[in-house]
Amino acid sequence: MPIPPCSGLLAVARFELEAIAGDRRFALGLVLQVAIVALLVPLLTDYAEKLGSGGDVLGTRADGFAPVAVWGKGNSSLEKAMSEKNRLRLYRVDSEDEARDGLQSGRYCMVLGIPPSPQQDVAVIVNRGDPRSIPAWETFQLICEAYRVTYREGLVRNALAERLGDASTGATEDLEGQVESLAGSYLEPIDLRIMSPETARLTDVEPTPVGNESAPRGNQSGTTTGPSDGANGDELLGGSGFLSLVFLAFGLCFPLFSGSGMMVESITGEKERRTLEAVLASPTSRIWILLGKCASAFLVSAAQSVALLLILSGALGVRNLPAVAFCLLVAGAAVLSSATVVSILCKGSKEASLAITILYVLIFVLFFGPLTLPGSMAFISPLAPMVRFAAGEPAGSATAVVLLSTVAFSGICVAVSLALFRRDDVVFGPRPSLQALLRDVVSSRIQTFRSRAILTGAMGALASLPAMLFPSLFLLPSIAFLGRWGFVAALVFAALVEEYFKPYGLYLLPTGLNSREVLALGGIAGLSFSLVENLLFTLALLGSGALQGSLLLVRYLLAPVMHSGLTMIVAAGWSRGGYARYLALFAASSIHGLYNLVAMLAVM
């Protein structure tokens, strides 16, 4: 009698959950994790506040910055003066709506509207009752004051020049008296209009006659901050609010990693202790066993995350709680599914611990790295949707793209996990190398010359990534330590990296291909590599504005020939096996390195 699949899945999930509940130390660890993050909330918010206001948190170098959106007239002296200050980070936006959205979402702490004419008021939109709570407000104030003084001085000087011109033509009034009179009329402050985003638009700003005495501090000038101040979680916004959201995301990420730990214990641990064999002997299929394990880990992570979210949302004023929870679960699924792949691949706990640590680092870089980039790039972080929803920002197309990409990534990881978990060699060993696994998968699916050509061509094109990355990482240290020889070493190293990676598609194909086919595939790999490399080179030249037709022509003629020829050499050596592989790689790298050197000398 067949056993319903869900029965096995539920049995495994229940078993894993009971195991956690029964493991007092692990359960205590989960609770403590939530408690510690909750206890850190006051500290984090305080830190965010201090960091945002430019306070000295950890030392003199821990000064914060305030993100300011600038809209209006470009290249003004005011903007230039502000951009020179470390505490202000200016983001030029195209429209007022964009600036307003950024202000509401917490990306910017204020918006600076620069009028076309200096005679008009500089308009500032903030969303707090007291602009002094805005990070780096004092810095901002000082620059504006200086701008006004400079501007007034200019006006006085121009007026004086006019009057002096008149005097030279016969005017008889007292010059000193004229100067005082002029200075008095122009020494009126130019108004800084402080407005609320809900009630004002920059375009509403009318030219204000000189003479308005209102001080730029507080809300008393012109348009006020409006009725929403202090309500609707306004404390969330501004620079410190943005940091608080990042801390929120940071805190919420912790439970995702405990789920990964569970997966390692549940899969790699069982492999290591050999308890998996008896489980796999049961009628429950491998798919349901794996999904059961994933489900239990996901449930624990989700429960922990939601508990933390509820605690943190109270402290940090999260707005769209269901949407944030959803984003959190999506991000959690991505972390957990990638940890599942690692857990299945690893042979033992030690190996898994190392691999999971590396995975954590990669995830942190992926999650938090983009948040430090300019606004246009920050959205690629899987945490960006969470931060946006937490700030009360509506879902946009960028949010949808990121969420869908994260879901797709999770799906791919789950599919890879299932494929790996079905393999006897991965589960019971001896586990093949990653390259052997890839070769196995590829060789079973790619049978014709055409498909092989597509594979080697695609891999040749992709080889441009390591070809760019590794040498650039190697270049600076090598020059630092070896001087001019370091530069030569970097050129040779770049050649070696390129020659190794270009025919990578061939490494994934079964051995025993005939030599003509190997040479043809090598040529295709080299050609596709050179096409991508030339394209990137052209784009780089275009970007730098130093496009040289002759240089491009030479490159477009020589590079494809050289890359194809050298990749054919490496491919031929690879197909022969043994020492021939290393000899071919060495020969191709040497020729390539020499070419690089000569080309560089010729350009210099």
What residue ranges bind other proteins (CB under 8 A)?
1-4, 7-8, 10-12, 14-15, 19, 22-23, 273-285, 422-425, 428-430, 432, 436
Least CB distance to other proteins at residue 512 (A): 14
Q: Which of 561, 229, 249 is nearest to 402 (CA)?
A: 249
Which residue lies nearer to other proteins by CB, 12 or 387?
12
Q: Which of 88, 100, 101 is nearest to 144 (CA)?
A: 88
Which residue lies nearer to other proteins by CB, 421 or 500?
421
Question: What contacts 24+ positions apart, CB below 8 Å, involve 208-216?
Answer: 208/120, 208/121, 210/119, 210/185, 210/186, 212/188, 213/188, 213/189, 215/189, 216/141, 216/144, 216/189, 216/191, 216/192
Least CB distance to other proteins at residue 277 (A): 5
Which residue lies nearer to other proteins by CB, 266 or 406?
266
Least CB distance to other proteins at residue 427 (A): 9
- Is residue 322 reached through a cis peptide bond, with omega within 30 degrees of 0 on the bond before it? no
Least CB distance to other proteins at residue 9 (A): 10
Which residue lies nearer to other proteins by CB, 4 or 227?
4
Measured CA to CA in angstroms, residue 445 lies from 252, 257, 293, 340 at distances of: 41, 35, 30, 24
Copy the structure tokens of residue 183: 């200075």
Which residue lies nearer to other proteins by CB, 58 or 278?
278
DSSP, residue by residue, 325-341 = HHHHHHHHHHHHHHHHH
Which residue lies nearer to other proteins by CB, 278 or 546?
278
Least CB distance to other proteins at residue 508 (A): 16
Contact partners, residue 497, CB within 8 Å, separation at least 6: 466, 467, 470, 471
Which residue lies nearer to other proteins by CB, 84 or 424?
424
Which residue lies nearer to other proteins by CB, 284 or 304?
284
* Locus of tokens 């030249």: 541
Are the beta carbons of 581 and 573 closer than 8 angstroms? Answer: yes
Least CB distance to other proteins at residue 89 (A): 53
Which residue lies nearer to other proteins by CB, 6 or 361?
6
Backbone angles phi, psi at 434, to 5 degrees: -60, -40
Positive/negative CA dihedral, 198, 200, 203, 204:
positive
Which residue lies nearer to other proteins by CB, 18 or 138?
18
Q: Which of 576, 589, 574 is nearest to 503 (CA)?
A: 574
Least CB distance to other proteins at residue 445 (A): 16
Distance (Å, whole) CA 72 – CA 118: 12
Least CB distance to other proteins at residue 349 (A): 15
Q: Is 123 helix (H, G, I), strand (E, B) or coil?
A: strand
Which residue lies nearer to other proteins by CB, 10 or 311?
10
Least CB distance to other proteins at residue 248 (A): 36
- Is residue 430 reached through a cis peptide bond, with omega within 30 degrees of 0 on the bond before it? yes
Q: Which of 123, 447, 312 is nearest to 455 (CA)?
A: 447
Copy the structure tokens of residue 117: 């004419």
Least CB distance to other proteins at residue 415 (A): 18
Distance (Å, whole) CA 28 – CA 36: 12
End-to-end CA distance of the chain: 79
Contact partners, residue 403, CB within 8 Å, separation at least 6: 327, 330, 385
Measured CA to CA in angstroms, residue 549 lies from 159, 402, 553 at distances of: 53, 39, 6
Which residue lies nearer to other proteins by CB, 193 or 431?
431
Least CB distance to other proteins at residue 593 (A): 36
Distance (Å, whole) CA 544 – CA 537: 11
Least CB distance to other proteins at residue 5 (A): 8
